[in-house]
Amino acid sequence: MEKLLKQCSELIINIARELKEKHVPSERATGKEGLFDQFNAANGFSGNNIKTGLQKIAPEIKWSYAEFDVARQSSGDVKGLYWVCDAIDGAVHFLQDFYPWCITLTLMDDQQPLMALIYDAEREELFTVIKGKGALLNGKALTVNHKAVLSDAIVSTVHPTNIPEEMDLVNKTLQSVNHMMPKVFALRLLGPASLQLAYVAAGRIDAFWEYGNDIYDWLAGALLVEEAGGKALIHDSGIIAANKPLYQALRKLL
């Protein structure tokens, strides 16, 4: 598994480098249609090259096409070993040439994550994890922060991407922010969910939650949190991740 992770890491780093150098649009889109066109071009480059590279590394492992189909994500329609990939998590940031964005890759066995990586090309930070063997950042072991009191905690969340179509989740998120802000030391909305989960694993953020059912956004980061000594629960209406004392506090509040 370590050899496979090393090969995958090298592949993702190289694709991210080329993505950053050649595929950030030279001109900003003037409307949503233009932005979607730019997204399809950049995401297609990244996703197709990752898929092709993985087929060479491990041709026996399947590829999940359910990134944009949340119903299929929870149905378990792919069996055995398969890849889950977000070719550009934080795509709006990438297309507008600001930070943060990342690439995520998770190896699944049925619906259980076995191995994952999250690569932040802007900071050259590679978060890696193998189930049962701990979480790493650029090869160094990660551990969640050990704060025990919510009033000391720095927490984060994120609102849905498709705002007009998901106003119920937007309102639920805003209500949770309003509810949490008086109870914590600081609250941030930082963009890609996978990177925020990686930051929980690294102890940079103390807790993260999100409403919705986009499970693929959370798999890599949730495994990182668990292997860094924290607790991550993907449930029917979202995800909660934190160290164990703060996790219990969040479960009562959210």
Residue set of the binding site for Mg(2+): 86, 88-89, 217
| Residue whose pair of structure tokens reads 């994550």 in the numeric block | 113
Q: Are the C-beta atoms of residues 83 and 105 closer than 8 Å to each other?
A: yes
Residue entry with tokens 């639920």: 172
- Alpha-carbon gap, residue 70 to 66, rounded angstroms: 7
Which CB contacts under 8 angstroms, 24+ apart, belong to 177-186?
179/253, 179/254, 180/155, 180/253, 180/254, 183/150, 183/151, 183/253, 184/150, 184/151, 184/153, 184/154, 184/155, 185/151, 185/152, 185/153, 185/154, 186/154, 186/155
**Residues in the annotated binding site:** 86, 88-89, 217
184 with 253: CB under 8 angstroms?
no
Which of 100, 129, 108 has the alpha carbon at shortest distance from 193?
Answer: 100
Which residue in 11, 12, 38, 49 sits closest to 97, CA to CA? 38
Structure tokens at 151: 């009033």
CA angle at 146 for the pair 172 and 182, rounded to the nearest 5°: 35
198 closest CA partner among 100, 97, 107 = 100
Residue where the block lists tokens 């860094």 = 228
